[in-house]
């Protein structure tokens, strides 16, 4: 949904979905691995020509820092826009090389309930790109329909044997059931 809304509202040519390789900031309990994340993302966007899944982080060793990913992608693409939620935009100052992130990409910030545009702008005040552009100059905001579905919600429902049908696409339900991911029953999408 987020990729679709960014594509539509910001007139993007295409959106690359980049599943994390090795997240540097947290470890997920029961994580099936980067290859599975790639497969799930691929199934989720199957048939949507606006979206493409990239292996840029999955195939790289070591922690998946956004600045490193953007450096690699900048060699392949003329302009980059990094899509992130308002909560992550607020935390940009704690990221690895935030000035490089701002230098390599325009930021597309999905507004979410609980984090106002003014809060994002306040929290990034003082940040700038490597060439001196203020962070606020590198931001575009876009609206998101309110959908209270998160990856942790889906994983916990699967683990407890509860249905996830309608929370994720049918292709993703099938991939999770077929591969027995997240410790759930084989019929999580059937109910």
DSSP character at residue 115: B
Give domain limits for the chain: 2-147
pLDDT at 101 (0 to 100): 96
In contact, 84 and 108? CB cutoff 8 Å: yes
pLDDT by residue for the chain (191 residues), tens only, comes to: 889 999 999 999 999 999 998 877 767 677 788 898 999 999 989 999 999 999 999 999 888 899 999 999 999 988 999 999 999 999 999 999 999 999 999 999 998 778 899 999 999 999 999 889 999 999 999 998 877 778 888 888 888 888 887 788 888 888 888 888 888 654 566 54
Angle at 41 between CA 19 and CA 124, to 5 degrees: 45
Candidate CATH numbers 1.10.150.20, 3.40.50.300, 1.20.1070.10, 3.40.50.620; the one for domain 2-147: 3.40.50.620
pLDDT at 28 (0 to 100): 67
Cβ count near 165 (within 10 Å): 13
* Residue whose token pair is 């029961």: 30
pLDDT at 6 (0 to 100): 94
pLDDT at 189 (0 to 100): 60
Residue 70 phi/psi, 5-degree rounding, is -65, -35
């Amino acid at each position: 949904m987020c990729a679709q809304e960014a594509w539509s509202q910001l007139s993007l040519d295409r959106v690359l979905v980049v599943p994390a390789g090795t997240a540097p900031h947290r470890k997920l309990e029961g994580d099936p691995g980067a290859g599975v994340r790639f497969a799930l993302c691929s199934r989720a966007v199957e048939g949507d020509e606006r979206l493409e899944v990239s292996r840029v982080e999955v195939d790289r060793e070591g922690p998946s820092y956004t600045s490193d990913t953007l450096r690699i992608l900048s060699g392949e693409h003329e302009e980059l826009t990094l899509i992130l939620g308002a909560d992550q935009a607020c935390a940009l100052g704690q990221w690895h090389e935030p000035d490089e992130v701002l230098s390599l990409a325009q930021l597309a910030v999905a507004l979410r309930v609980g984090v106002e545009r003014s809060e994002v702008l306040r929290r990034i005040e003082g940040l700038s790109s490597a060439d001196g552009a203020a962070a606020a100059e590198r931001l575009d905001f876009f609206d998101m329909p309110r959908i209270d579905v998160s990856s942790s919600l889906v994983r916990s429902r699967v683990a407890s044997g509860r249905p996830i049908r309608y929370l994720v696409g049918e292709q993703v339900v099938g991939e999770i059931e077929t591969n027995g991911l997240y410790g759930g029953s084989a019929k999580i999408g059937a109910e």
